[in-house]
Structure 1
Amino acid sequence: MTLWRAGMRITAGRLNDHAVEASTSSGLTAGAGFTVIGFSGRKVSGVTTVHCYLSYDGTGLNPDGSGNLADVTMCTLPSGWRPPETINTTFGDGVQDGECTISPSGTVSLRSVFSNIETGRNIRATAVWISGNS
C-alpha cells in the first residue's frame, strides 16, 4: 500500500494501489441460537468490509407489531475487525430482510424485520466502513 508523503507526485500507480492490506475468515463468534457458516473480512485502502453468514437455530425471531426484534445478538466480530462507531446495515435470509447494527465492541444486533424468521434460515449481513487513513 502506498503511504502518501509531502512532496510525492500523484501517479496512476499510486492512485490505483488497492492491494489487500489484511484479510480474515476466522474469529466470528455466534450469538445464542446462531451457528457460524462463514465469515470474511478485508481491508483495502483504509476501508473495511465484513460479511457474516450464520444459520439461525433458535425457536423463531418474532418481531413485535412494529417489526422490532429487541436487539437480538447475532454474532460478535473478531478484534481488529470492528467499526470505530456504531453503524447500521441490513441483513437478509433470502426471504426476509431487516436492519441490524454493529457496535464498536463488535456486537452485530438484529433490530427489525418485516415478519418472523423461522428456525433453520441462513442469515447474511454485510457492512463496509472507513477504518483508517493509512
Structure 2
Amino acid sequence: MSVRAAWLLPQGQTREDTRLAPVGTWSPETEIRTRDGVIPGGNPFAATGVDAMSLQIGVGRAVVQGTDPQGAYPVAVDAPETVKFADGDAQFDRIDSVVLHVYDSLFDQNGQALAAVEIIKGDATATPTAPTLPPAHLRLWDVRVPAGTSAGVGGIDWRSALADRRRFTVAAGGILPKGWGLAFDGAYDGQYRDNGGTLERWNATTRTWAAYQPPELPVETTNSGAVTATGWTMSSFDARRHRRTVQFIGFWSRTGATLPANPNIADTLIATLPAGWRPTLTVEALCSTGYGFGAAAIGSDGKVTLRSWAGGNKTNALEQGENVRVSATFVQ
C-alpha cells in the first residue's frame, strides 16, 4: 500500500499508517478548518514523465481538508505512483490536475475509505482552465494536454506541460514556506509566511500580509568614559550607537609641545575610548581645527592616535592651545 491516510479507516489503521502520516501538522485556516497542503522537506510529490502519456508522482506527505464536518486527513505516499493521461481533445487543449483524493464513505457516495493519487480531467475549451476541485482533494500539479495529443504522435511534452501547484502547510506557529499561490488570507494575527526570501506577517486588523520589520532597537548614548592622554585636555566627548553602528565626536585642546606637520608625524595618543564603544578592527578618524586637518587611527583597544597633520596656520603645525575636533563612524 503506497498511499496511506490516518484517521480514515473505521478499522485496521496500521502502526505504519500512524507513523508515516503527518498527524501532528495542523495549521488553522478558520476556527474549524485546517490549511491543507504539502508538508515541506526535500522535494515532496515530485513529478517525472515516465512515458508519452504517463507521469510519476514521488513520495511525500500532506494534509487534505474535506468539508468542515469531515475535518482534515493526514496522507502519506511512501512509494512513487504513476498516473496516465487520456488523449487530447480533437479541437482544444485542456488542463488536467494531479491530486491527492481522500475517499470517505461516511461523507461521500463512493463507498470507500482510502486515499489515492488521481487525475481530475479538465474541460477542453479555447481558453482552458484547471478543474475546480471538490472537498477532500489537494491539487499537486496541473498538466496542459494539447489538442490531438496521444502516444502515437509523441505524447505530452513534460518540459512545458507541467505547472507546479503544490502549496505548503506547517504546524500552527510555523512559518509557511513559499509554494504555489500567495493570494490567501492568514488565519490569525501574527502568522508568518516566507514570500521568496521576504518574511511576511499577517495583520488581522487590516487583513493584509506585510513585510516583517524587526523591532527598532533603542539608541544608546554616552558622554563619559573617554580617557584623555598626556598633552591634551578634553572639552567634550559624545558618542551614539544604533544597532552596531557607533558615531562619536570629541574636542581636545593641545596642551603639550607643538606637533609639526610633515604631513606625517610621530604617532601621538590623544585619548582612549570607553570599553564597549570601540571598533572591532582599526578604523580611521578625521581631525580638524577648522583650519588645519589631519587623520587619526582608532584601534580595537580604543586608542585614538594622531598620525598626520596638514597644518592650516602660519607654521603648518598643531600648536599648543589649538582645539582639535575628532570624529568617526564605524560598525562594531
TM-score normalised by structure 2 residue count: 0.35
- Structure 1 residues 110 and 12: alpha-carbon distance in aligned structure 2, compared to 1, 3 A threshold: farther
Instruction: State the AA in 1 paired with 2:321.
Output: G
1:9 aligns with 2:200: yes
Matched with 2:218 is 19
Taking CA–CA contacts closer than 8 Å with sequence separation of 6 or more, which of the two structures ends up with the larger relative contact order?
Answer: 1
**Post-superposition shift, 1:85?**
0.5
- Give the fraction of aligned pairs with identical amino acids, expressed as a percent: 29
- Structure 1 residues 9 and 72: alpha-carbon distance in aligned structure 2, compared to 1, 3 A threshold: same
Matched with 2:241 is 43
Alignment partner of 1:87 out of 270, 273, 283: 283
Query: Alpha-carbon deviations, 1:69-108, whole Å to 9, x = none?
Result: 1110011101111100000121001111011100000100
1:43-122, aligned counterparts within 5 Å? 43-64=241-262, 67-115=263-311, 116-122=317-323
**Post-superposition shift, 1:53?**
1.1
The separation in 2 between residues aligned to 1:129 and 1:86, in whole angstroms, is 10
Instruction: State the AA in 2 paired with 1:19.
Output: P
- Structure 1 residues 18 and 61: alpha-carbon distance in aligned structure 2, compared to 1, 3 A threshold: same
Matched with 2:232 is 34
SS at match of 1:88: strand
The separation in 2 between residues aligned to 1:12 and 1:92, in whole angstroms, is 43
The separation in 2 between residues aligned to 1:13 and 1:41, in whole angstroms, is 30
**Post-superposition shift, 1:46?**
1.8
The separation in 2 between residues aligned to 1:25 and 1:89, in whole angstroms, is 18
Aligned Cα root-mean-square deviation (Å): 2.2
Query: Alpha-carbon deviations, 1:20-56, whole Å to 9, x = none?
Result: 1x21000111111101110011111221111121111
The separation in 2 between residues aligned to 1:110 and 1:42, in whole angstroms, is 22
The separation in 1 between residues aligned to 2:294 and 2:318, in whole angstroms, is 10
- Structure 1 residues 76 and 18: alpha-carbon distance in aligned structure 2, compared to 1, 3 A threshold: same
The separation in 1 between residues aligned to 2:305 and 2:221, in whole angstroms, is 23
Instruction: State the AA in 1 paired with 2:238.
Output: S
User: Are the aligned partners of 2:200 and 2:212 in contact in 1 as well (CA < 8 Å)?
Assistant: no
Q: Which runs of 4+ in 1 moved over 4 A?
A: 10-13
Count of residue correspondences: 123
Instruction: State the AA in 1 paired with 2:228.
Output: A
Runs of at least 5 residues in structure 1 that lack an aligned partner in the other structure: 1-5
- Structure 1 residues 44 and 120: alpha-carbon distance in aligned structure 2, compared to 1, 3 A threshold: same
User: Are the aligned partners of 2:295 and 2:308 in contact in 1 as well (CA < 8 Å)?
Assistant: yes
TM-score normalised by structure 1 residue count: 0.82
